[in-house]
Amino acid sequence: MRYNRIMELGELLLVSNVEMLDLASLVGRVAVGICFVVHGIGKLGLVGTGTIAGFTEFLRDRGVPMPEVQARIAMLSELVGGALLAMGLLMRPACLLLIGTMVVAGVVGHRGAGYLITNDPPGAEYTINLVVVSIVLFLLGPGGYSLDAILF
């Protein structure tokens, strides 16, 4: 009896199955996708204190060429990429879009600020973590609980 209990604990700690991986992908996609969408609508001034004008000025101050265009590209990448990620629709291309957006955000927006987000100015910690999570989701795939699984 004791031997069976140890085996069950071992399986709990070490064994995965398709259902668990599908659920992990769903939870990760929805949480991170919503995070990106909220950041995108924040640039529209609908949540938080940011606006597209303020973000454009930030990019201009950083020396980013065509800051009006770049601000809108970043906002649309977060909105569209985040929504696609959350739904599991064209999930891997959405991950690539979001990875690219966050790499640029880390390099441009947090240049010279170090790693920790608590630094002044804030470091690239958050963007790096979003890149890593997006890579993990890309590798994991959309899973069975996704529009990709239904449509393709």
**pLDDT tens sequence across 51-67:** 999 999 999 999 999 99
Residues 13-42, mean pLDDT to the nearest whole number: 95
Q: What is the pLDDT of residue 1?
A: 46
Q: What are 78-119's pLDDT values in tens digits?
A: 999 999 999 999 999 999 999 999 999 999 988 889 999 899
**Average of pLDDT values for 134-145?**
97
Q: What are the residues whose beta carbons fall under 8 Å from the beta carbon of 146, sequence distance 6 or more?
A: 25, 26, 29, 87, 88, 89, 91
- Residue among 94, 43, 38, 92 nearest 70 (CA): 43
pTM for this structure?
0.89
Instruction: Classify burial at 86, counting beta carbons within 10 Å of its beta carbon; exposed 0-12, middle 13-18, buried 19 or more.
Output: buried
Closest CA to 126 of 101, 91, 96, 102: 102
The DSSP H or E segment spanning 34 is: helix 18-43
Q: Which residues contact 104 (CB under 8 A, 6 or more apart)?
A: 74
Q: Where are the alpha helices (DSSP H) in 62-116?
A: 67-87, 91-104
CB-facing half-sphere around the CA of 10: CA atoms within 13 A: 6
Cβ atoms 105, 74 nearer than 8 A: yes
